[in-house]
Amino acid sequence: MLLILVILIMHSLVFKFDRIVLRNCIGLKPICYVFSLGVHIVLLSGILSLTIGDTAASVIGSYIGKHRWPYTKKTIEGTMASIVAQALTLILVSHVVTLHYTSYIGLSIAVVLTSLLEAFTTQIDNLILPVFMYVVLISLS
């Protein structure tokens, strides 16, 4: 219930920001111009996979995680948190900035595959995850 309330509040704040600042551009022409250009989602693959996904997986997996993936110390709850956090971030960012990407199904596949790679990798995931997500997004676009 609390999560739904937080999401609704964030959505209303983002919607108000979009309506007031971006539509009217009250004294913020350079910022409005950058936002109006949009961002190709591939350029956000590092931020999305590491800052959002890996952090959510670590925090939620450490505190709430009880069910472990086979042959690893990572939890299923952490992986689900990573997927949900990345999806919510994309939804919120898409309200503020125009995201250029052709397939939302491809975007969903990239988020899920990257989260699963994070769960099963034994390598240094800070290097592998952004590159993997970038390659998947380029391949599916």
| pLDDT per residue as tens digits for the range 90-106 | 878 777 666 666 677 88
Note whether 60 and 124 are same-domain residues. yes
pLDDT of residue 16: 47
Claim to verify: residue 54 and residue 27 sit in the same structural domain: no
What's the mean pLDDT in 38-61? 83
pLDDT at 19: 46
pLDDT of amino acid 68: 92
Q: Answer positive or negative: Cα dihedral of 42, 43, 48, 54.
A: positive
In this structure, the answer to whether residues 105 and 115 fall within a common structural domain is yes
Q: Is the pLDDT of residue 22 over 50?
A: no
Number of domains observed in the structure of the chain: 2
| Enclosing domain of residue 28 | 1-37
- Residue 52 contacts residue 36 (beta carbons within 8 Å): no
**Cα-Cα-Cα-Cα dihedral sign, residues 41, 103, 69, 132:** negative
Are 49 and 90 members of one domain?
yes
Read off the amino acid at residue 18. Answer: D
Reduce the DSSP state of residue 136 to 3 states and report it: helix
Residues 64 and 133 in one domain: yes
Mean pLDDT of the chain: 75
Proportion of the chain above pLDDT 90, given as a percent = 23
The reply to whether 65 and 134 lie within a common domain is yes
Q: Say whether both 29 and 67 belong to one domain.
A: no
The percent of residues above 70 in pLDDT, for the chain, comes to 67
Residues 11 and 42 in one domain: no
Long-range contacts, stretch 54-63, CB < 8 angstroms, 24+ apart: 54/82, 54/118, 54/125, 54/126, 54/129, 55/85, 56/81, 56/82, 56/84, 56/85, 56/86, 57/81, 57/82, 57/115, 57/118, 57/119
